[in-house]
Amino acid sequence: MIPVLLILVPLLTGLTSFFLKNERTVRSWALFASLVTLAVSLLGLTLLKDQQYLFFQAEWMASLNSSFSVRLDGMGQILCLLNAVAFPLIFISTWRSNYPKANNFFALMLLAQAGMMGVFLAMDALLFYFFWELALIPAYFLCSQWGGPKRIQVTFKFFIYTFVGSLLMLVGILYIYFHTKDTSFDIASFYKASLTAKEQTWLFWLLFIAFAIKMPIFPFHTWQPDTYEQSPTATTMVLSGVMVKMGVFGVLRWLLPVLPDASWAWGDSVSTMAVAGMIYASLIAIRQDDLKRLVAYSSIAHIGLMCLTIFSVNNIGMQGVMIQMFNHGINIIGLWIVIELIERQFGTRKISELGGLAQKAPAMAILFVVIALANIALPLTNAFVGEFLMFTGIFTSTVTKYNIWFTVLAGLCIILAAIYTLNLIRKVFYGNTVELTVNTSDIKLNEKLALGIIVVLIFWAGIYSQPFLDVTKNVSTDVTNSILDKPEINKYLRK
């Protein structure tokens, strides 16, 4: 029942939130709901230890051969855990933010959480698509109703991108559905679908673009900085912390194993896109003056690395991607928390208008620096383990002959990341205070709590990562082998 509960708890609590009138009640209700979900997720983690996965299936639309089948395996677990950890952190840290029509706001947030849970759990293609949309629609409204001054144009752009992506995905799913042996939406049938090389190729690009928009991968990324900038920060946290992982997850669960030949054949092309996007986004990040946009571009570079690693098809790298999805989510939420604080206090996110915060708000400065350094993968922080494994995977990849080039070019982003991150810290936190920041107040208890939890997670997963790695061990091997073990690919591998 665990997988079902993971979806039902946020779904039902979200729906009830619509009818709560008092802002304080709905806020507490949402926090309570997210904590229940977290408890369920942790329970799932302990149960998963003894089994490979937790499974639930019920008949749904039998006429279409689609069933309500949800399964919690290692990769689903780590992402559901991220989803479950993220929301309490978000609710705690934004406890002091006020939203008009708070009941609708929190309801939509919880619905988005339910949708994402479904995405990570669905074992049926139609169900996956359904949850995908269920996650996106609330996000769209959260941005368009509660966003910044430019929200209308921005959400329009967001909508265009998302709409195109969903459409491509739907076409792809339906095509594969009709070519499964038993005309079923079941994931097992999808994995066994018989498709010619040509069909695989265009299906690959349909689905890849759909996922690439979500991740996002250059050049399908321009919705992201705008949307992050204009959305209320709580929503930005959801989008960047958890929702972008839907794209990465989609590639790992629905693209590679379903279309292994095309994934292998087009691997170099995708990797080139990913690595170009990483450098592109990192260079742009250096030039950003808006805190939110800077973090948005840095996130594009980080996700690009995940994409590059996935298409290097290597067990070590795959493992790195899975743990990094969790780490990236935790770290970026931490960054947003501080940015939200800064924006709420000074009414600006412009780096050039800020300065000297470390003098006035040392706790904020220390916590931000720790999280920012984790974000650039300093050893003994969580992201180092993930990035180290990912880079090892890229370098030792057997599917491409450009592995050294990819490693070096992607590696440049490690340096660029240091440049923009340290410049941000220098300009915002160090130096002398400016007029605006003379009366800065330090962080409050709720924010300290949220950031404290994040810092603990950063060091835990950075020093003793084995428990995290063990969760995704089996799935990582399965995904990798779904390509490497194919006889027609295996013979081409570079030893």
Partner 1 sequence: MQNALQIAWLIPLFPLLGFLINGLGRKHLSKSAIGVIGSGVILASFVMSIWVFLQVKDGNTHVADYFNFISVGDLSIPFAFQLDQLSSLFLLIITGVGFLIHVYSASYMHEEKTEHFGRYFSYLNLFVFSMLLLVMGGNYVIMFIGWEGVGLCSYLLIGYWFKKAEYNKAANKAFIMNRIGDLAFLIAIFWIIKKVGNVNYHDVFQFAGENKFSTADITGITLLLFVGATGKSAQIPLYTWLPDAMAGPTPVSALIHAATMVTAGIYMIARSNVLYSLSHTTMNIVAIVGLATALLAATIALKQNDIKKVLAYSTVSQLGFMFLALGTGAYVAAVFHVMTHAFFKALLFLGSGSVIHAMGGEQDIRNMGGLSKKLSVTYFTFLVGCIAIAGIPPFSGFFSKDAILLSAFEKSPVLYGIALFTALLTAFYMFRLLFITFSGKFRGTHEQEHHLHESPAAMTIPLIILAVLSIIGGFVGIPEALMHGGDKLSAFLSPVIKPHEGTPVSHSTEYGLMALSTVLVIAMIIAAWFKFRNYQRSEAAGFGKVLENKWYVDELYDKIIVNPLNKFGGFLNSFIEKFVIDGVVNGVGRIVNYSSRQLRLLQSGQVGSYIFLMVLSMLVVFVLQFFLRK
Q: Which residues bind partner 1 (CB under 8 A)?
A: 58-62, 68, 130, 133-134, 137, 140-141, 144, 155-157, 159-161, 163-164, 219, 222-223, 280, 283-284, 286-288, 315-316, 319-320, 356, 358-359, 373, 378-380, 385, 388-389, 391-392, 395-396, 407-408, 411-412, 414-415, 418-419, 422-423, 426, 429-432, 464-466, 469, 473, 477
Three-state DSSP class for residue 189:
helix
Task: Report d(CA 241, CA 248) in Å as an integer.
Answer: 12
Q: Which is nearer to partner 1, 222 or 490 (CB)?
A: 222
CB of 219 to partner 1, least distance (A): 5
* DSSP assigned state of 401: S
Pick the closer one to partner 1 by CB: 28 or 423: 423
Residue whose CB is less far from partner 1, 24 or 58 = 58
List the beta strands (DSSP E) in 275-432: none
Q: Are strands 54-61 and 66-72 parallel, antiparallel or unpaired?
A: antiparallel
Cβ atoms of 300 and 224 closer than 8 Å: yes
Rg of the chain taking only CA atoms, in angstroms = 22
Residue with tokens 């180290």: 388
What is the SS3 assignment for 349?
coil
Which residue's CB is nearer to partner 1, number 119 or number 259? 119
Report yes or no: 327 and 356 within 8 Å, Cβ to Cβ.
no
Q: How far is the CB of 344 from partner 1 (least distance, A)?
A: 24
Shortest distance in whole angstroms from residue 479 CB to partner 1: 13
Which residues, in sequence order, are CB contacts of 279 under 8 Å at separation 6+? 301, 409, 412, 413, 416
Alpha helix (H) ranges present in 376-402? 382-395
- Assign 70 to helix, strand or coil: strand
Cβ proximity to partner 1, 120 vs 384, nearer residue:
384
Residue with Cβ nearer partner 1 (193 or 367): 367
Q: Which tokens is 372 given?
A: 């920012």
Rounded Cα distance between 258 and 175, Å, is 12
* Shortest separation between residue 387's beta carbon and partner 1, angstroms: 9
Residue 72 forms beta bridges with which residues?
54
Q: Based on CB atoms, which residue is closest to partner 1, 27 or 302?
A: 302
Closest CB to partner 1 among residues 43, 378: 378
- Smallest gap from residue 494 Cβ to partner 1 (A): 11
Q: How far is the CB of 284 from partner 1 (least distance, A)?
A: 5
- Residue 67: enclosing H or E segment and its boundaries? strand 66-72
DSSP designation for 56 = E
We find the least distance from the C-beta atom of residue 266 to partner 1, in angstroms, to be: 21
> What is the nearest approach in angstroms of partner 1 to the Cβ of residue 265?
24
Task: List, in order, residues 6 or more apart from 234 with CB less than 8 Å away.
Answer: 90, 91, 94, 97, 109, 340
Q: What is the DSSP letter of 62?
A: G
At closest approach, how far in Å is the CB of 95 from partner 1? 25
SS3 (DSSP) at 59: strand
Closest CA to 281 of 417, 393, 376, 378: 417
H, E, C per residue of 102-122: HHHHHHHHHHHHHHHHHHHHE
Q: Which is nearer to partner 1, 82 or 294 (CB)?
A: 294
Closer residue to partner 1, CB minimum distance, 39 or 408: 408
CB 416 within 8 A of CB 285: yes
Q: What is the closest distance, in whole angstroms, from the C-beta atom of residue 297 to partner 1 in the complex? A: 9
CB of 391 to partner 1, least distance (A): 6
Q: Which is nearer to partner 1, 51 or 362 (CB)?
A: 362
| Residue whose CB is less far from partner 1, 49 or 495 | 495
Distance CA 452, CA 481 (A): 39
Nearest in space to 479 (alpha carbons), one of 209, 74, 98: 74
Taking the complex as a whole, the smallest distance from the CB of residue 392 to partner 1 amounts, in Å, to 5
For residue 372, give the nearest of 473, 260, 311, 285 by alpha carbon: 285
